[in-house]
Amino acid sequence: MNSRSPSLPELRRRRFLALGAGAALALAAGPVLAARGERRLAFVNLHTGESLQAVYWQEGRYVAEEIAAINHVLRDHRSAEVGAIEPQLLDLMFLLRQRLGMERPYQVVSAYRSPQTNAMLSQHSSGVAKNSLHMEGRAIDVRLPDKELKRMLRAARELHGGGVGYYPRSGFIHLDTGPFRTWRG
């Protein structure tokens, strides 16, 4: 395997694919997202114990202060490095929350990962991608205390908003804003 950093054309291609996935999600969910006056999410970081309830979108715009608070709670718990979580990932989680009729917070297993943390994890596990979208703030691993994992998985797949990984032994699903694909870890 090649451990080099992605080239500029590769990064541009990834960003293009991410924008395409975001556009597809917006088209599919447009009426749902447009119909709401605000978008609210709640998180519990399982590693730090921190929790947050945030209205991250209100009055037609993303709320910078709330996005910053989300970025902090979803930081790399190993290095404490804070990365920017992509707003389209938050929108995907918001839609999943609506589809499930969920009120309780997402339990976060992993969100942003620094490149150093990701490299360390990929050396110890075949289930960690060397060029993981976690490093770009475009992926999150979550569970919900009040929903069956399989029900959550089905709902996430139905959204077609990006990648959906199923990790039943670890008790979480992976969501990302890359191209739509599914797998079992």
CATH number of 8-184: 3.30.1380.10
pLDDT (tens digit, 9 = 90+) per residue, 15-60? Answer: 555 555 544 444 444 444 554 589 999 999 999 999 999 999 999 9
* Cβ atoms of 175 and 162 closer than 8 Å: yes
| Nearest CA-CA partner of 44 in 133, 90, 107 | 107
**Tens digit of each residue's pLDDT (9 = 90 or more) over 164-174:** 999 999 999 99
Percent of the chain, pLDDT > 90?
70
Nearest-angstrom CA–CA distance, 74 and 94: 15
Residue 123 one-letter amino acid: Q
Residue 61 pLDDT: 96
Query: What tokens does 114 get?
Result: 């620094």
Q: What is the pLDDT of residue 38?
A: 95
Cα separation, 73 vs 118, in Å, equals 18
Here the tokens at position 17 are: 């694919």
DSSP H stretches of helix in the chain: 8-35, 64-73, 87-100, 115-124, 149-159
Q: What pLDDT, in 10s, does the model give residues 67-108?
A: 999 999 999 999 999 999 999 999 999 999 999 998 899 999
Residue 20, both tokens = 């395409």
Domain assignments of the chain as residue spans, ordered by start? 8-184
Distance (Å, rounded) from C-alpha 5 to C-alpha 29? 34
140: nearest Cα among 117, 125, 158, 162: 162
pTM of the prediction?
0.80
The pLDDT value recorded for residue 5 is 44
> Which tens digits make up the pLDDT trace of 120-164?
988 887 677 888 999 999 999 999 887 789 999 999 999 999 999
Residue 76's Cα: distance from chain center in Å? 13
